[in-house]
Amino acid sequence: MKYKSQKVAYWFFATCMLLFSLQLVYGFIMGFAHMGLDGLHSWIPFNAARATHTNLLVVWLLCGFMGAAHFIIPDEAGRELHSVKLAYVQLISLIVVGVVSVIGFHLNWWEGRKFLEIPRPLDFLVVINVLMFIFNIGMTVLRGKKYSTTGIVLFMGLFSAALLYLPGMIYFDNQTMDSFFRWWVVHLWVEGVWELIMGSILAYLLIKLTGVDREVIEKWLYIIVGLTFLSGILGTGHHYYYIGTPKYWLMVGGIFSALEPLAFLGMALFAISMYRRSGRSHPNKISLYWTIGCAIMSFVGAGFLGFAHTLPQVNMYTHGTLVTAMHGHLAFWGAYAMIVLAITTYALPELTGRKLWNSMSGMLAFWLSNIGMVGMTGAFAVAGVTQVYLERKMGLDFLLVQKELHVHFLGLILAACLFTAGIILFIWTFIQYGLPSDEMIGASPSEEEPAHGHAHAQLV
Ligand code: HEM
Ligand code: HEM
Ligand SMILES: [Fe+2]
C-alpha cells in the first residue's frame, strides 16, 4: 500500500466478513423452513429471516464497495484519504444502523417492501451516513494529484448509488406507484450504477494483476459504461409488465432488458482478453481467480439467467417464484459478492505484508464456494420450474405446491453446506493475514517477487 490511510479499508472488509457470516445463518433458517422444518418460527418468522438475509447482503456489499473505495481512491488520486477519522465514524455508524435494523425486523418493525424493508426513520440515518462517505471520498478525488478514469467511474458509481436511494424514500399510498419507484432503487442499482462500481474495481484489479496498459483497460471501461446505460435504464421496464403500469412497458422492457446481458458479456470478454494479454504474472494468483471468476460468473448469473425470465411471455409465469431466487443468488454472487472478495484478496497482502496468496485454504475457498453456489442455483432452478408448472400452469394452490417442493430444499441445504465451507475457509484465510501493518506503507509485497512469466497454464 502506498498511503497510510488505505488501512481503513481493512476494517470495512473485516465488517463484511462478519455480516456475510450472519447472512448465511439466516439463509439456512429459510432453507430449513422451506423443508417444513420451521422450529424457530415464533422467534424468527420467515419474513423476518428473509428481510434480514437480503438486507445484510446489501449492507455487506455496500461495506465492501466502501472498503474498495478507501483502498483504491487514494491510490488512483495519488494522495491520502481526506479524513481517516471521518471514515471510522462512518463505518461505526453504518454498523449501528445495520444492527438496529436487524433487531427491528425481529420485533416486526419493518416495511414490507422487498429489499427496502428498513423503516423510513432509519432511512434518514442511512442518508447522513452515506453523505459522510461521499464527502470523504469526493474530497479525496477532488484534491487528488491526478484524475484517472478508473477512479472517476468508481466515484460516479458510488455517488449515483447514493442519489438513487432517495426515490425509495418517497411516500405513496398507492401500491403501483410505490412499486414503480422501488424499482428505481433496486433495478437501477444492480443493473445500472452498481455495474459502474463493479466495472471500475474490475479495471483496477486488471491493471494491477495483468500489467496491461491502463489506456487499453480504461477504453474497455468506457464501452461497458455505455452498454450499461444503453440497456439498463429502459430495461427497468422488465419490472413494469404486470404491476398496473401502461402497456408500452411490455415492449420497452422486453427489448431493452434483453440487451442487458451485453454489458456483462462485455465484462467477461474484457477480463479474459486482458488476462490473455498479460505480459507479466502477478504473484497474487488467488485474487486473479476471483477477478476473472467474477467476470464470468456475473455473465452466467446476471446475463444468462436474467435473460431466462426477462421476456414478458416468460415473466408472466415466473414472476415472483423461486425462478427469481435462482437468478438473484447467482447474479448477486457472481457480480457483487465476487468482486468484493476479489478486491479483498488483492488488498490483504498489500495491507498486512503477508504473502498468503497461494495458500491451500484460499484456493479451496474459491472452488468450494463457487461449486456450492452453482449447486444452490441448480436447486432453486428445479424448485422454481416445478413451482411454475404446478402453481401457474396447473393452477394448484400456493401452499400445496410449497409442500411438493420440500425435497428440492434438501438439495439446496447440501449445496449451501459446500458453499458455506468455502466461505469459512475464506474467512479463515482472512484471519490468518492478521492486522494491517504500518511497515507496509510505501511498499508493495508483490514487487519484491521476481516475475514468473505467463500465468496462463496455472489458471486454466
Ligand atoms: C448483477 C446484476 C443483477 C442482479 C444482482 C440481479 C438480481 C435480481 C434480484 C435480487 C431480483 C429480485 C428482485 C425483487 O423481486 O425485488 C431480480 C429480478 C429480476 N431480474 Fe435481475 N439481477 C441482475 C441482472 C439482471 C439482468 C441483466 C436481467 C435481464 C437480462 C435481469 C432480469 C431480471 C428480471 C426479469 C427480474 C424480475 C423477476 C420477477 O419478475 O420476479 N436481472 N434480479
Ligand atoms: C447458506 C447459503 C444460503 C442459503 C441456504 C440461502 C437461502 C435462501 C432462501 C431459502 C431464500 C428465500 C427464497 C424465498 O423467497 O422463498 C433466499 C433469498 C435470497 N438470497 Fe439466499 N441463501 C444463501 C446465501 C446467499 C448468498 C451468498 C446470496 C448472495 C450472494 C444470497 C442472496 C439472496 C437473495 C438476493 C435472495 C432474495 C431472492 C429473491 O428476491 O427472490 N443468498 N436465500
Ligand atoms: Fe431488473
pLDDT value at residue 440: 82
| Mean pLDDT computed over every residue of the chain | 95
Task: Give the DSSP H/E element, type plus range, for residue 21.
Answer: helix 8-34
pLDDT value at residue 409: 98
Sign of the torsion angle spanned by Cα atoms 416, 417, 421, 424: positive
pLDDT value at residue 403: 96
For residue 332, is pLDDT > 80? yes
pLDDT value at residue 456: 40
For residue 280, is pLDDT > 90? no
First to last CA, the chain: 29
For residue 211, is pLDDT > 60? yes
pLDDT value at residue 438: 87
Architecture of domain 4-459: Up-down Bundle (1.20)
Rounded to the nearest whole angstrom, what is the distance from the C-alpha of residue 449 to the centroid of ligand 3? Answer: 44
For residue 321, is pLDDT > 50? yes
Please name which ligand lies nearest the alpha carbon of 199. Answer: 1
Rounded to the nearest whole angstrom, what is the distance from the C-alpha of residue 172 to the centroid of ligand 2? Answer: 28
Q: Does ligand 1 come within 6 angstroms of the Cβ of 302?
A: yes
Question: Closest by alpha carbon to 47, among 66, 33, 65, 61?
Answer: 33
Rounded to the nearest whole angstrom, what is the distance from the C-alpha of residue 373 to the centroid of ligand 2? Answer: 10
pLDDT value at residue 451: 44
- pLDDT by residue (tens digit) across 109-161? 999 999 999 999 999 999 999 999 999 999 999 999 999 999 999 999 999 99
For residue 450, is pLDDT > 70? no
Cβ atoms of 369 and 293 within 8 Å: the answer is no
Map 400-442 to HEC letters: HHHHHCHHHHHHHHHHHHHHHHHHHHHHHHHHHCCCCCHHHCC
Q: Does ligand 1 come within 6 angstroms of the Cβ of 75?
A: no
The pLDDT of 194-210, averaged and rounded, is: 97
pLDDT value at residue 163: 97
For residue 460, is pLDDT > 50? no
pLDDT value at residue 50: 98
Name the grid cell of 351. Answer: 495491507
Q: Does ligand 1 come within 6 angstroms of the Cβ of 236?
A: no
Q: Parse the chain into domains and list their residue ranges.
A: 4-459
| Residues having CB within 6 Å of any atom of ligand 2 | 24, 27-28, 30-31, 34, 50, 53-54, 57, 324-325, 328-329, 332-333, 337, 412, 416, 419-420
Rounded to the nearest whole angstrom, what is the distance from the C-alpha of residue 340 to the centroid of ligand 2? Answer: 18
pLDDT value at residue 448: 56
Distance CA 16, CA 160 (A): 22
**Rounded to the nearest 10 degrees, how much is the dihedral formed by the CA atoms of 192, 198, 201, 203?**
-80
Please name which ligand lies nearest the alpha carbon of 294. Answer: 1
Q: Does ligand 1 come within 6 angstroms of the Cβ of 191?
A: yes
* Confidence band of 452 (pLDDT split at 50, 70, 90): very low
Q: Does ligand 1 come within 6 angstroms of the Cβ of 315?
A: yes
Report which protein residue has its CA nearest ligand 2's atom 41. 325
- pLDDT by residue (tens digit) across 42-89? 999 999 999 999 999 999 999 999 999 999 999 999 999 999 999 999
pLDDT value at residue 174: 96
The pTM (predicted TM-score) of the whole model is: 0.96
The pLDDT of 223-234, averaged and rounded, is: 96
Q: Could you identify the atom of ligand 1 that is nearest to the CA of residue 298?
A: 1
* Confidence band of 442 (pLDDT split at 50, 70, 90): confident
Rounded to the nearest whole angstrom, what is the distance from the C-alpha of residue 260 to the centroid of ligand 3? Answer: 9
* Confidence band of 444 (pLDDT split at 50, 70, 90): confident
Report which protein residue has its CA nearest ligand 2's atom 32. 329
For residue 447, is pLDDT > 80? no
pLDDT value at residue 281: 79
* Confidence band of 32 (pLDDT split at 50, 70, 90): very high
Give every CB contact of residue 389 below 8 A, 6+ residues apart in sequence.
none
pLDDT value at residue 308: 98
Task: Give the DSSP H/E element, type plus range, for residue 135.
Answer: helix 120-142
**Percent of the chain at pLDDT exceeding 70:** 97
For residue 203, is pLDDT > 70? yes
Report which protein residue has its CA nearest ligand 2's atom 4. 27
Rounded to the nearest whole angstrom, what is the distance from the C-alpha of residue 383 to the centroid of ligand 1? Answer: 18
